Structure 1
Amino acid sequence: MSAVMDLRQLQLFRRIVAEGSFSRAAAALGIAQPALSRQVRALEEELGLRLLHRNGRGVIPTEEGRRFAEAVSPVLDDLDRIREEAMAAQGVARGRLRVAMPPSVAAALGPALLRHLRAEMPGVELNLREGFTGTIHEWLTRGEVDIAVLNPMRRSAAVKIEPLYDAHLFLVHRAGDPQVAPLLTPEGEIALADVAHLPLLLPGRHHGVRREIEAAFSAARLVAAKIEDVDTLSGVKQMVAEGLGCTLFAWDAVSLEIEAGRLSAARVCAPVLLHGFVLATSPEASPAARAVVRFLREEVRRRIGDGRLRGSLN
């Protein structure tokens, strides 16, 4: 069996483990599932190991398969990076790029990023994930994403950090909420002291935005009347729409619900609350990753300049 075929088997095996399913891996790779199964069987026979357990829900690696995947993954990553750099030297960016963003940033920048890649970097395959900062930081430190937008309160010596922007935070509430209406200023804003009196549904304390909000309360010598932890974006928006409480988000996380009339938002003032975002990459970022970082910085600058993004450059 050729060395090229051996490398292909390793790549296929890694993708199956990542997808947790032969069918999903076959669809993602664009090859027939029986051919994929044959490649894995050939790899198992060559190694003399059973690498995967097959069940009704998909596949999971055996203990030997897990250790093998952990061993070959860094080698395959190095080979991918070498290939991408060689292509970049010829003016062509290729490869799979894994990007993670918080919900508000994904809503604001995700469509623009996809359009840019399709038009300018068609050889790059985008995998865009959404999560709160705490979760994204875990993905980043485990090497599961190449580029992360996250809160600056999360730091790691293993990643490169650069500023992106500060988003204004808004009190998000049910449209026409009688608790909120009397508290609004003539400009439609709300003071932080009044926010503290409302029942709040916020991400847990391991998330950056929660720590920023609590730090703002502490600096203003305020104590929130009630905070309940809700670590799901769709869930908290539904709870707020049903009048179970309010939350604090950047505008873009709830803009569609505001346009539909399900939710309303008031910018927090006295003091203004800012939720900072930074771009994080590994020190060995690929040429494609560096190009996407440049695009994201430029897109943020454009959107803040024309008012589509409610925040300021940091």
Structure 2
Amino acid sequence: MSILMDVKRFEFLCHIADYGSFSKAASVIGVTQPSLGRQIRKLEQECGMRLLYRNGRGASLTPEGAQLLLRIRPLLKEIDSAICDLQADRNSARGAVSIGMTPAVSRIIGYRLLLAAREQYPKINLNIVTGYSGYLLEWLASGRIDVGILDNERRADHLVFDHIAQLGLSLVSAPGQARLPEQANEAIDISALKNLPLVLPSRMHGLRRTMDIAAANAGISLNVTYEIDAHDLVREIVLAGAAHTVMCALAMQSEIERGELVAALLTPAVSTRLLCGTPSNRPVSAASRLIIGLIKATLAETAGERTGDISIDYGGSLSA
């Protein structure tokens, strides 16, 4: 039996004691009288004693019920006060928060995050900027952004990173440009990348380093025909069939659903770890902390919908 339900039953008991009647209390609470009666009987069973006298004129507390309410009322007030304080903190959260994300993360959760922030924290002015991890690291250090969502292990002066999720990587191609599996959600062996022309970011960024390590482990060399640090240009190159790329397929989900691109998860599984970076040499604002929580919640919601492409990482923090 849940604690929340127990608290509600105590509140019901208080209402009956205050109004001296099941019918009046039920009307105020907004439940039916029989339902209220069942809840009180369950409470009495849990306590192992009668808490109310019931008669034709209404209801009154037994001595045991009166003694119980003497101790319960202050606790109920504390619970109400705590909830009110939390709501006040949320409603008063205000200020500007600048979040830096990789292009893939922005395409996966950016719009959802904006909508959720506007609904839950209307007084927070949220700005989202995108860039590959190397740029985000510089922007975090310089104070251009308040929070950075970037990939791969990092160590940097005055920055702290928390692991928050992992993105599964897929080969993404124009239709007919690679021998991808015919069935959706099937995987392709990483060795198939050996002779494919690829467009990837430069080596200063986390995704490229992840792929270089994965290729070395597989005993192959990557044919990086284009080294591009502009996500929109990478997308154009792949759409034109000039090269293939590797990324989380969710970042190209719209194009895949329209049939403009196809994707297959790499095997053995290759993933990039998402980190939430914040400065250790300047305070993180209350508004920034709320947005970080919203980012984690949005990623978790997306992970629940697409478990093959994204998973939540409950690892610890990494600091300089």
Same fold (TM over 0.5): yes
Aligned to 2:231: 233
Letter in 2 for 1:192: I
Deviations 1:234-258 (A, max 9, x none): 1111111111110001112211111
Aligned to 1:169: 169
Aligned to 2:298: 299
Aligned to 1:107: 107
**What is the percent sequence identity of the aligned residues?**
28
Unaligned 5+ runs, structure 1 = 1-87
Judged with a 3 Å threshold, the aligned counterparts in structure 2 of structure 1 residues 143 and 213 are, in CA distance, closer, same or farther, namely same
Residue 90 of structure 1: CA displacement?
Answer: 8.8
Aligned to 1:93: 93
Aligned match of 2:279 in 266, 277, 282?
A: 282
Residue 91 of structure 1: CA displacement?
Answer: 5.4
Q: 2:200·2:224 contact (CA, 8 Å) conserved in 1?
A: no
Cα distance in 2 for partners of 1:185, 1:219 equals 26
Aligned to 1:157: 157
Cα distance in 2 for partners of 1:166, 1:90 equals 29
Letter in 2 for 1:267: L
Give the alignment's TM-score, normalised by structure 2. Answer: 0.65
RMSD between aligned alpha carbons?
A: 2.0
Cα distance in 2 for partners of 1:220, 1:309 equals 21
Q: 1:303·1:309 contact (CA, 8 Å) conserved in 2?
A: no
Residue 152 of structure 1: CA displacement?
Answer: 2.8
Cα distance in 2 for partners of 1:268, 1:243 equals 19
Q: 2:225·2:243 contact (CA, 8 Å) conserved in 1?
A: no
Give the alignment's TM-score, normalised by structure 1. Answer: 0.67
Cα distance in 2 for partners of 1:215, 1:227 equals 18
Residue 170 of structure 1: CA displacement?
Answer: 0.8
Larger radius of gyration: 2
Residue 133 of structure 1: CA displacement?
Answer: 0.9
Q: 1:154·1:208 contact (CA, 8 Å) conserved in 2?
A: no
Judged with a 3 Å threshold, the aligned counterparts in structure 2 of structure 1 residues 89 and 264 are, in CA distance, closer, same or farther, namely closer
Cα distance in 2 for partners of 1:236, 1:161 equals 28
**What SS does the corresponding residue of 2:229 show, helix, strand or coil?**
coil
Cα distance in 1 for partners of 2:193, 2:161 equals 32
Q: 1:108·1:309 contact (CA, 8 Å) conserved in 2?
A: no
Cα distance in 2 for partners of 1:266, 1:260 equals 16
**What SS does the corresponding residue of 1:166 show, helix, strand or coil?**
strand
